[in-house]
Amino acid sequence: MPEEIRPLSDDFWHRWRDMSFAEIGYHVAHSFFGDDVPEEDLRRMAAETVSFDAPLVQLAPGDFVLELFHGPTLAFKDFGARFMARLMAWLTRDDDRELTVLVATSGDTGGAVASAFYQVPGTRVIILFPKGKVSPLQEKQLTTLGGNITAVEIDGTFDDCQRLVKSAFLDAELSQRLNLTSANEFLLLS
């Protein structure tokens, strides 16, 4: 995490309405990463992340909604997962070890992560999902890609899946050997 996140410039706020979605994404990401990620790479990541529409739809005069479900898995999580996949590939580009992304899901997170990381070099994704507790569409999103994506159906609940992910991270030897990271938000408690 950066020690400081720079505010977006006045120039950005004067020009943002004329920028593409990807260009806005680049500027927001640059305010977070600064010069730690080269401009060309960050622009590419932003462009690949928001390569689908997110229309602003007017519901009534003065009332609008931003539709974030137009991505490849029909989930708002496509935005974060796609950026994470591209950033993780960039961060590990010189690492000889394969990165293992371990994820527990009740549906949307797993599908978005699977789609985002599919065929990303140097990564494999293992998704734990509860048997019979995801929609048929979500199960297809989790189980049909193959390649570097492995889905494991767990006889239990999402909490059981999450417990298994947490226990893998608490096993220091396993975590190091598999070069583990996660796309879940959870607190590791000792």
DSSP state of 122: T
Query: 185 pLDDT band (50/70/90 cuts)?
Result: low
27 sits in which H/E element: helix 21-33
With b for 16 or more beta-carbon neighbours within 10 A and e for fewer, the 116-134 pattern comes to bbbebebbbbbbbbbeebb
Task: Please state the rounded mean pLDDT for residues 146-163.
Answer: 97
Q: What is the pLDDT of residues 43-76, one digit of tens each?
A: 999 999 999 989 999 999 999 999 999 999 999 9
Q: What pTM did the predictor assign? A: 0.89
pLDDT at 187 over 70: no
Q: H/E/C letters for each residue in 40-107?
A: HHHHHHHHHHCCCCCCEEEEECCEEEECCCCCCCCCCHHHHHHHHHHHHHHHCCCCCCCEEEEEECCC
What does the pLDDT read at residue 186?
52
What CATH topology corresponds to 79-182?
Rossmann fold (3.40.50)
What does the pLDDT read at residue 190?
36
pLDDT at 184 over 90: no
What does the pLDDT read at residue 5?
84
Q: What is the pLDDT of residues 73-113, one digit of tens each?
A: 999 999 999 999 999 999 999 999 999 999 999 989 999 99
Domain ranges of the chain: 10-66, 79-182
